[in-house]
Structure 1
Protein backbone atom coordinates (compact mmCIF):
# COMPACT_ATOMS: atom_id res chain seq x y z
CA UNK A 1 0.00 0.00 0.00
CA UNK A 2 1.47 3.39 -1.01
CA UNK A 3 2.49 5.77 1.74
CA UNK A 4 0.68 9.06 1.01
CA UNK A 5 3.04 11.12 3.17
CA UNK A 6 6.09 9.65 1.43
CA UNK A 7 4.45 10.26 -1.95
CA UNK A 8 3.72 13.89 -1.13
CA UNK A 9 7.27 14.42 0.11
CA UNK A 10 8.62 12.81 -3.07
CA UNK A 11 6.50 15.14 -5.24
CA UNK A 12 7.62 18.19 -3.26
CA UNK A 13 11.21 16.99 -3.57
CA UNK A 14 10.85 16.54 -7.34
CA UNK A 15 9.47 20.09 -7.61
CA UNK A 16 12.31 21.56 -5.54
CA UNK A 17 14.93 19.59 -7.48
CA UNK A 18 13.43 20.81 -10.77
CA UNK A 19 13.65 24.43 -9.55
CA UNK A 20 17.32 24.01 -8.66
CA UNK A 21 18.08 22.46 -12.05
CA UNK A 22 16.23 25.33 -13.81
CA UNK A 23 18.24 27.89 -11.82
CA UNK A 24 21.44 26.15 -12.93
CA UNK A 25 20.17 25.77 -16.53
CA UNK A 26 20.89 22.05 -16.54
CA UNK A 27 18.68 21.02 -19.43
CA UNK A 28 19.11 17.25 -19.22
CA UNK A 29 18.42 17.29 -15.48
CA UNK A 30 15.33 19.48 -15.97
CA UNK A 31 14.07 17.07 -18.62
CA UNK A 32 14.75 14.05 -16.40
CA UNK A 33 12.02 15.31 -14.05
CA UNK A 34 9.49 14.50 -16.81
CA UNK A 35 8.17 11.33 -18.35
CA UNK A 36 9.67 10.55 -21.77
CA UNK A 37 6.74 12.27 -23.53
CA UNK A 38 6.20 14.87 -20.81
CA UNK A 39 4.98 18.37 -21.60
CA UNK A 40 6.22 21.70 -20.22
CA UNK A 41 4.08 24.75 -20.94
CA UNK A 42 6.04 27.77 -19.76
CA UNK A 43 5.10 30.20 -22.50
CA UNK A 44 5.64 27.99 -25.54
CA UNK A 45 4.79 24.28 -25.35
CA UNK A 46 7.73 21.87 -25.10
CA UNK A 47 6.85 18.22 -25.63
CA UNK A 48 9.23 15.38 -24.80
CA UNK A 49 12.44 15.30 -22.82
CA UNK A 50 14.58 16.36 -25.79
CA UNK A 51 12.52 19.53 -26.36
CA UNK A 52 12.47 20.37 -22.65
CA UNK A 53 16.24 19.93 -22.38
CA UNK A 54 16.79 22.05 -25.51
CA UNK A 55 14.64 24.86 -24.02
CA UNK A 56 16.91 25.16 -20.98
CA UNK A 57 20.14 24.45 -22.86
CA UNK A 58 19.40 27.32 -25.26
CA UNK A 59 19.12 29.65 -22.29
CA UNK A 60 22.41 28.38 -20.92
CA UNK A 61 23.92 29.71 -24.16
CA UNK A 62 22.37 33.15 -23.55
CA UNK A 63 19.32 32.95 -25.81
CA UNK A 64 16.42 35.15 -24.62
CA UNK A 65 13.13 33.53 -23.67
CA UNK A 66 9.44 34.35 -23.78
CA UNK A 67 7.42 32.82 -20.98
CA UNK A 68 4.16 34.52 -21.84
CA UNK A 69 4.70 38.27 -21.58
CA UNK A 70 7.45 39.11 -24.04
CA UNK A 71 11.16 38.45 -24.27
CA UNK A 72 12.77 38.59 -20.84
CA UNK A 73 16.35 37.61 -21.48
CA UNK A 74 17.95 34.39 -20.34
CA UNK A 75 17.49 32.81 -16.92
CA UNK A 76 21.00 33.51 -15.61
CA UNK A 77 20.99 34.64 -11.97
CA UNK A 78 17.50 33.35 -11.30
CA UNK A 79 16.02 31.92 -8.12
CA UNK A 80 12.72 30.01 -7.99
CA UNK A 81 10.88 29.41 -4.71
CA UNK A 82 7.77 27.20 -4.61
CA UNK A 83 5.05 27.75 -2.02
CA UNK A 84 1.57 26.55 -1.05
CA UNK A 85 1.69 23.16 -2.77
CA UNK A 86 -1.69 21.43 -2.92
CA UNK A 87 -1.17 17.79 -3.88
CA UNK A 88 -3.86 15.23 -4.62
CA UNK A 89 -2.78 11.62 -5.03
CA UNK A 90 -4.96 8.95 -6.62
CA UNK A 91 -3.09 5.67 -6.92
CA UNK A 92 -0.22 6.12 -9.35
CA UNK A 93 -1.27 9.59 -10.54
CA UNK A 94 -1.25 12.94 -8.81
CA UNK A 95 -1.98 16.60 -9.38
CA UNK A 96 -0.20 19.53 -7.82
CA UNK A 97 -1.06 23.21 -7.79
CA UNK A 98 1.56 25.57 -6.40
CA UNK A 99 2.74 29.13 -6.50
CA UNK A 100 6.27 30.06 -7.48
CA UNK A 101 8.14 33.26 -6.84
CA UNK A 102 10.84 34.05 -9.39
CA UNK A 103 13.61 36.56 -8.87
CA UNK A 104 15.68 37.22 -11.99
CA UNK A 105 18.65 39.58 -12.18
CA UNK A 106 18.59 41.57 -15.42
CA UNK A 107 20.34 44.67 -16.82
CA UNK A 108 19.18 47.86 -15.09
CA UNK A 109 17.80 49.27 -18.35
CA UNK A 110 15.27 46.41 -18.36
CA UNK A 111 14.00 46.77 -14.80
CA UNK A 112 14.35 49.12 -11.88
CA UNK A 113 17.14 47.88 -9.63
CA UNK A 114 17.98 45.22 -12.23
CA UNK A 115 15.48 42.71 -10.86
CA UNK A 116 12.42 41.05 -12.35
CA UNK A 117 9.98 39.65 -9.84
CA UNK A 118 7.46 37.20 -11.27
CA UNK A 119 4.72 35.23 -9.54
CA UNK A 120 3.35 32.14 -11.24
CA UNK A 121 0.84 29.42 -10.54
CA UNK A 122 1.76 25.91 -11.69
CA UNK A 123 -0.68 23.12 -12.48
CA UNK A 124 1.02 19.74 -12.64
CA UNK A 125 0.01 16.20 -13.52
CA UNK A 126 2.39 13.55 -12.24
CA UNK A 127 2.74 9.79 -12.54
CA UNK A 128 4.48 7.23 -10.38
CA UNK A 129 7.13 5.36 -12.38
CA UNK A 130 9.78 2.79 -11.56
CA UNK A 131 12.11 5.79 -11.16
CA UNK A 132 9.71 7.53 -8.75
CA UNK A 133 7.28 10.40 -9.33
CA UNK A 134 7.74 12.34 -12.58
CA UNK A 135 5.95 15.25 -14.20
CA UNK A 136 3.67 14.26 -17.03
CA UNK A 137 2.47 17.81 -17.74
CA UNK A 138 3.44 21.16 -16.17
CA UNK A 139 1.54 24.32 -17.07
CA UNK A 140 2.66 27.73 -15.85
CA UNK A 141 0.33 30.71 -15.46
CA UNK A 142 1.99 34.09 -14.97
CA UNK A 143 0.09 36.03 -12.30
CA UNK A 144 2.14 39.19 -11.75
CA UNK A 145 5.41 40.64 -12.94
CA UNK A 146 7.28 43.89 -13.19
CA UNK A 147 9.00 42.53 -16.33
CA UNK A 148 6.48 44.17 -18.63
CA UNK A 149 4.85 47.14 -16.89
CA UNK A 150 2.62 47.79 -19.91
CA UNK A 151 1.05 44.32 -19.82
CA UNK A 152 -2.53 44.00 -18.70
CA UNK A 153 -3.86 41.09 -16.68
CA UNK A 154 -5.31 39.68 -19.91
CA UNK A 155 -1.87 39.81 -21.58
CA UNK A 156 -0.44 37.68 -18.77
CA UNK A 157 -3.02 34.89 -18.91
CA UNK A 158 -1.86 31.58 -20.29
CA UNK A 159 -4.12 28.66 -21.16
CA UNK A 160 -6.17 27.19 -18.34
CA UNK A 161 -5.18 23.96 -16.65
CA UNK A 162 -5.39 21.05 -19.10
Structure 2
Protein backbone atom coordinates (compact mmCIF):
# COMPACT_ATOMS: atom_id res chain seq x y z
CA UNK A 1 0.00 0.00 0.00
CA UNK A 2 1.36 3.41 -0.93
CA UNK A 3 1.03 6.24 1.58
CA UNK A 4 0.25 9.65 0.17
CA UNK A 5 0.42 13.00 1.90
CA UNK A 6 -2.77 15.07 2.14
CA UNK A 7 -2.11 17.05 -1.04
CA UNK A 8 -1.41 13.89 -3.04
CA UNK A 9 -4.57 12.21 -1.69
CA UNK A 10 -6.78 15.12 -2.71
CA UNK A 11 -5.22 15.10 -6.19
CA UNK A 12 -6.10 11.43 -6.49
CA UNK A 13 -9.63 11.95 -5.14
CA UNK A 14 -10.68 15.12 -6.89
CA UNK A 15 -8.07 16.13 -9.43
CA UNK A 16 -5.12 18.47 -9.36
CA UNK A 17 -7.12 21.62 -10.08
CA UNK A 18 -9.00 21.24 -6.77
CA UNK A 19 -5.75 20.91 -4.83
CA UNK A 20 -4.96 24.56 -5.53
CA UNK A 21 -8.03 25.57 -3.46
CA UNK A 22 -7.13 23.61 -0.32
CA UNK A 23 -5.44 24.27 3.01
CA UNK A 24 -4.98 21.36 5.42
CA UNK A 25 -5.33 21.34 9.20
CA UNK A 26 -5.17 18.24 11.43
CA UNK A 27 -8.80 17.20 11.03
CA UNK A 28 -10.25 19.44 8.35
CA UNK A 29 -9.49 20.59 4.84
CA UNK A 30 -10.54 24.15 4.18
CA UNK A 31 -11.52 24.78 0.59
CA UNK A 32 -11.09 28.33 -0.60
CA UNK A 33 -13.43 29.34 -3.39
CA UNK A 34 -15.85 32.09 -4.31
CA UNK A 35 -18.71 29.71 -5.04
CA UNK A 36 -19.24 25.98 -4.50
CA UNK A 37 -19.88 25.56 -8.22
CA UNK A 38 -16.18 26.34 -8.77
CA UNK A 39 -15.39 22.93 -7.30
CA UNK A 40 -17.28 21.02 -9.95
CA UNK A 41 -19.65 18.08 -9.99
CA UNK A 42 -16.86 15.51 -9.44
CA UNK A 43 -16.31 16.75 -5.89
CA UNK A 44 -19.96 17.12 -4.92
CA UNK A 45 -20.06 13.85 -2.96
CA UNK A 46 -16.67 14.48 -1.33
CA UNK A 47 -17.73 17.61 0.57
CA UNK A 48 -19.15 17.10 4.08
CA UNK A 49 -20.35 20.64 4.52
CA UNK A 50 -19.90 24.18 3.38
CA UNK A 51 -19.17 26.96 5.81
CA UNK A 52 -18.05 30.54 5.47
CA UNK A 53 -14.62 31.04 6.99
CA UNK A 54 -12.06 33.73 6.32
CA UNK A 55 -9.22 31.48 5.21
CA UNK A 56 -7.28 34.41 3.81
CA UNK A 57 -6.63 35.58 7.36
CA UNK A 58 -3.14 36.32 8.58
CA UNK A 59 -3.93 34.11 11.56
CA UNK A 60 -5.67 30.86 10.51
CA UNK A 61 -5.45 29.43 14.04
CA UNK A 62 -7.46 32.36 15.40
CA UNK A 63 -9.98 31.78 12.58
CA UNK A 64 -10.30 28.13 13.64
CA UNK A 65 -10.91 29.24 17.22
CA UNK A 66 -13.58 31.62 15.97
CA UNK A 67 -15.18 28.84 13.96
CA UNK A 68 -15.23 26.49 16.96
CA UNK A 69 -16.55 29.20 19.30
CA UNK A 70 -19.37 30.24 16.97
CA UNK A 71 -20.30 26.60 16.40
CA UNK A 72 -19.97 25.29 19.96
CA UNK A 73 -20.91 28.42 21.96
CA UNK A 74 -23.28 30.46 19.80
CA UNK A 75 -24.97 31.95 22.87
CA UNK A 76 -21.64 33.44 23.97
CA UNK A 77 -20.42 34.70 20.62
CA UNK A 78 -23.77 36.30 19.81
CA UNK A 79 -23.45 38.63 22.81
CA UNK A 80 -19.86 39.71 22.08
CA UNK A 81 -18.82 42.39 19.58
CA UNK A 82 -16.94 41.22 16.49
CA UNK A 83 -13.78 43.09 17.56
CA UNK A 84 -13.87 41.61 21.06
CA UNK A 85 -14.42 38.12 19.62
CA UNK A 86 -11.48 38.57 17.23
CA UNK A 87 -9.28 39.75 20.11
CA UNK A 88 -10.32 36.77 22.22
CA UNK A 89 -9.63 34.35 19.35
CA UNK A 90 -6.15 35.79 18.80
CA UNK A 91 -5.42 35.32 22.50
CA UNK A 92 -6.81 31.77 22.49
CA UNK A 93 -4.68 30.97 19.41
CA UNK A 94 -1.54 32.06 21.25
CA UNK A 95 -2.43 30.08 24.37
CA UNK A 96 -3.71 26.92 22.64
CA UNK A 97 -2.66 26.64 18.98
CA UNK A 98 -3.48 22.92 18.62
CA UNK A 99 -6.65 22.41 16.63
CA UNK A 100 -7.00 18.93 18.12
CA UNK A 101 -7.51 20.49 21.60
CA UNK A 102 -9.99 23.25 20.68
CA UNK A 103 -13.22 21.24 20.78
CA UNK A 104 -12.09 19.33 23.89
CA UNK A 105 -11.33 22.62 25.64
CA UNK A 106 -14.79 23.97 24.83
CA UNK A 107 -16.51 20.79 26.04
CA UNK A 108 -14.60 20.94 29.31
CA UNK A 109 -15.51 24.62 29.72
CA UNK A 110 -19.19 23.70 29.28
CA UNK A 111 -18.91 21.00 31.96
CA UNK A 112 -17.26 23.44 34.37
CA UNK A 113 -20.03 25.98 33.79
CA UNK A 114 -22.65 23.34 34.57
CA UNK A 115 -20.79 22.27 37.71
CA UNK A 116 -20.64 25.83 39.05
CA UNK A 117 -24.19 26.53 37.83
CA UNK A 118 -23.35 29.50 35.65
CA UNK A 119 -23.70 30.34 31.99
CA UNK A 120 -20.70 29.20 30.00
CA UNK A 121 -18.40 31.98 28.87
CA UNK A 122 -14.98 32.63 27.45
CA UNK A 123 -13.68 32.94 31.01
CA UNK A 124 -14.39 29.22 31.45
CA UNK A 125 -12.47 28.48 28.24
CA UNK A 126 -9.49 30.49 29.49
CA UNK A 127 -9.63 28.68 32.84
CA UNK A 128 -9.47 25.30 31.10
CA UNK A 129 -6.50 26.41 29.02
CA UNK A 130 -4.71 27.93 32.03
CA UNK A 131 -5.16 24.74 34.04
CA UNK A 132 -3.72 22.62 31.24
CA UNK A 133 -0.50 24.63 30.87
CA UNK A 134 2.70 23.46 32.48
CA UNK A 135 4.47 25.84 34.85
CA UNK A 136 7.15 26.45 32.21
CA UNK A 137 4.51 27.26 29.58
CA UNK A 138 2.68 29.51 32.07
CA UNK A 139 5.89 31.53 32.44
CA UNK A 140 6.18 31.78 28.64
CA UNK A 141 2.65 33.13 28.23
CA UNK A 142 2.45 35.34 31.33
CA UNK A 143 2.36 38.49 29.13
CA UNK A 144 -0.55 37.07 27.13
CA UNK A 145 -2.40 36.19 30.34
CA UNK A 146 -1.77 39.72 31.65
CA UNK A 147 -3.38 41.06 28.46
CA UNK A 148 -6.41 38.86 29.13
CA UNK A 149 -6.67 40.23 32.66
CA UNK A 150 -6.45 43.81 31.32
CA UNK A 151 -9.29 43.15 28.87
CA UNK A 152 -11.57 42.20 31.71
CA UNK A 153 -14.18 39.46 31.56
CA UNK A 154 -15.03 38.28 28.06
CA UNK A 155 -18.48 36.82 28.62
TM-score, length-normalised on structure 2? Answer: 0.28
Higher helix share: 2
- Higher gyration radius (CA): 2
Higher strand share: 1
TM-score, length-normalised on structure 1? Answer: 0.27
